[in-house]
């Protein structure tokens, strides 16, 4: 199966967050019929990378995961992670470690719940993968705090 149907679903999420077809059309300065084709499951049209970026910027502005970028990353076996903006001190690194540990616990809980009956179904696997992605994001944020030279010097 190609990635197109999964990218279509991500595009539909981005369009929804941008205010539906009309809001998304205004955002990317395209016609509503063009955006409607991006949104229609029966159509193969997808936004250009530039248009996808503009749609995903809406998600970022709302503190949400940019759906199209996250799906592109997922299709290539990666995760999309928002990195911290501030240059932190030791307290931020400690807080990040606590957050990372909590996320690891969430993975363990999801796995324990899923394997209680001796098997993992597709829905349970999806939940576990989502928890793993959150763990990866948390670890990447902690890493970002440590690789910034100013952050390391202030710690």
Q: Which residue has the tokens 């970026």?
A: 53
pLDDT tens for residues 123-143?
A: 999 999 999 988 998 898 888
Which residues neighbour 152 within 8 Å (Cβ) at sequence distance 6 or greater? 146
pTM comes to 0.64
CA torsion sign, 128 to 132 to 133 to 135?
Answer: positive
C-beta separation of 46 from 8 below 8 A: yes
Q: What is the pLDDT of residue 155?
A: 43
pLDDT tens for residues 96-111?
A: 899 999 999 999 999 9
């Amino acid at each position: 199966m190609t990635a197109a149907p999964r990218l279509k679903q991500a595009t539909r999420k981005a369009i929804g967050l941008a205010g539906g077809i009309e809001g998304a059309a205004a955002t990317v300065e395209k016609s509503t019929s063009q955006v409607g084709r991006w949104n229609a499951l029966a159509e193969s049209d997808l936004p250009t990378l530039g248009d996808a970026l503009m749609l995903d910027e809406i998600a970022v502005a709302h503190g949400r995961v940019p759906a199209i970028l996250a799906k592109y990353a997922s299709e290539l076996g990666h995760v999309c992670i928002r990195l911290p903006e501030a240059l932190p001190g030791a307290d931020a690194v400690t807080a990040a470690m606590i957050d990372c540990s909590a996320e690891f616990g969430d993975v363990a809980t999801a796995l324990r719940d899923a394997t209680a009956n001796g098997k993992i179904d597709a829905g349970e696997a999806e939940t576990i993968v989502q928890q793993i992605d959150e763990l990866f994001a948390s670890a990447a944020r902690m890493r970002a705090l440590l690789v910034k030279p100013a952050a390391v010097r202030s710690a």
